[in-house]
């Protein structure tokens, strides 16, 4: 491990996402969600042994169609969902559709496949992004794939809880409906985080450092979760290069 911290950014984010999982709750992530999948399994093997996990398109799912997953969310049974976005803005909106002028976009993406609905139905949603730059954390997204803040008369069971990046964790304050800096990860500073964020983070005078991954969390991640993901074919190629061997 060449990183002086003793872990890399993927391992850090997997640990931080795992801490959001609550024991006994249904927690899920979609397809192509390597880091949240790792975090879910880490939580299951550390502090949340009774958590019910749904990792779509893997062996860790209780059903075989996304439609059944969407019905579960609509019934209000989904406690936590992890989602990513090309852009995330201060209001908790995320963009998975396109960049540039809506009528003449410069780039298009596959979209969210039900993510907008789940953003309303999951009791908590943690948005993650593997880069923290002004192009990914913006004042206003180019396209609202899912709305983080809605009017009081709009029916929704939950909404955004946090945004986790390699530099920091931002919390969503439902009152003003805005993201605020919650903690800064080891190796980074508040000025660095603000300089790489496209919106004002508010009062950062008392923002603490993020608790670094513990030796126990890293041990379980590398000696239990990594082999399990390799054996089950759960993002095995990604795991081989992203998570250090035990």
On whether residue 4 sits in a domain, the answer given is no
Q: What is the pLDDT of residues 69-90, one digit of tens each?
A: 999 999 999 999 999 999 999 9
Q: Up-side HSE of residue 108: CA atoms within 13 Å toward CB?
A: 5
DSSP 172: E
Identify the pLDDT of residue 3. 86
Residue 177 three-state SS: coil
Q: Are residues 35 and 130 in contact, defined by beta-carbon separation less than 8 angstroms?
A: yes
Residue 1 predicted with pLDDT over 60:
no
Residue 183 predicted with pLDDT over 60:
yes
Residue 112 predicted with pLDDT over 90:
no
On whether residue 35 sits in a domain, the answer given is yes
Q: What is the pLDDT of residues 200-237, one digit of tens each?
A: 998 999 999 999 999 999 999 999 999 999 999 999 99
Let me know how many helices (H) and strands (E) the chain has, helices first: 8, 12
Q: What is the pLDDT of residues 11-36, one digit of tens each?
A: 999 999 999 999 999 999 988 899 99
Identify the pLDDT of residue 127. 97
Q: What is the pLDDT of residues 44-61, one digit of tens each?
A: 999 999 999 999 889 998
Share of the chain above pLDDT 90, in %: 85
CA–CA separation, 186 vs 168, rounded Å? 9
On whether residue 120 sits in a domain, the answer given is yes
Number of domains observed in the structure of the chain: 1
> 105 forms bridges with which residues in the sheet?
100
Q: What is the mean pLDDT of the chain?
A: 95
Identify the pLDDT of residue 102. 85
Q: Which two tokens stand for residue 12?
A: 């850090």
DSSP-derived secondary structure for 60-128: S-SSS-HHHHHHHHHTT---EEEEE-SEEETTS-EE-SEEEETTEEEEE----TTHHHHHHHSSEEEEE
On whether residue 164 sits in a domain, the answer given is yes
Residues spanned by the domain of 24: 9-242
**What mean pLDDT do residues 168-182 have?**
95
On whether residue 39 sits in a domain, the answer given is yes
On whether residue 217 sits in a domain, the answer given is yes
On whether residue 1 sits in a domain, the answer given is no
Rg (CA), the chain: 17
DSSP-derived secondary structure for 123-149: SEEEEE-S--STTTEESS-SS-SB-S-
Q: Are residues 39 and 130 in contact, defined by beta-carbon separation less than 8 angstroms?
A: no
On whether residue 82 sits in a domain, the answer given is yes
Confidence of residue 146 (pLDDT cuts 50, 70, 90): very high
**What mean pLDDT do residues 173-199 have?**
96
CA–CA separation, 111 vs 178, rounded Å? 23
CA–CA separation, 125 vs 175, rounded Å? 17
Q: Give the CATH number of the domain where residue 96 resides.
A: 3.40.1080.10
Residue 172 predicted with pLDDT over 90:
yes
């Amino acid at each position: 491990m060449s990183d002086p911290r003793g872990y890399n950014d993927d391992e850090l984010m997997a640990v931080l996402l795992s801490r959001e999982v609550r024991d006994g709750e249904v927690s899920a992530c979609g397809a192509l969600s390597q880091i949240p999948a790792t975090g879910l399994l880490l939580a299951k093997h550390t502090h949340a042994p009774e958590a019910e996990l749904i990792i779509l398109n893997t062996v860790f799912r209780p059903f075989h169609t996304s439609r059944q997953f969407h019905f579960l969310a609509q019934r209000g049974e989904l406690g936590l969902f992890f989602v990513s976005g090309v852009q995330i803005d201060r209001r908790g909106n995320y963009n998975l559709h396109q960049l540039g002028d809506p009528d003449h976009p410069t780039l298009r993406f596959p979209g969210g496949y039900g993510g907008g609905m789940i953003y309303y139905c999951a009791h908590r949603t943690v948005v993650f992004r593997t880069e923290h730059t002004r192009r990914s954390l913006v004042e206003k997204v180019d396209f609202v794939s899912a709305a983080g803040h809605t009017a009081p008369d709009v029916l929704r069971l939950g909404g955004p809880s946090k945004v986790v990046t390699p530099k920091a964790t931002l919390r969503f304050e439902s009152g003003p409906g805005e993201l605020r800096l919650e903690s800064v990860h080891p190796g980074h500073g508040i000025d660095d985080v603000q300089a790489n964020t496209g919106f004002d983070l508010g009062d950062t005078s008392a923002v603490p450092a993020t608790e670094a991954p513990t030796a126990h969390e890293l041990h379980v991640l590398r000696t239990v979760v990594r082999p399990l993901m390799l054996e089950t074919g759960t993002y095995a190629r990604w795991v081989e290069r992203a998570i250090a061997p035990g």
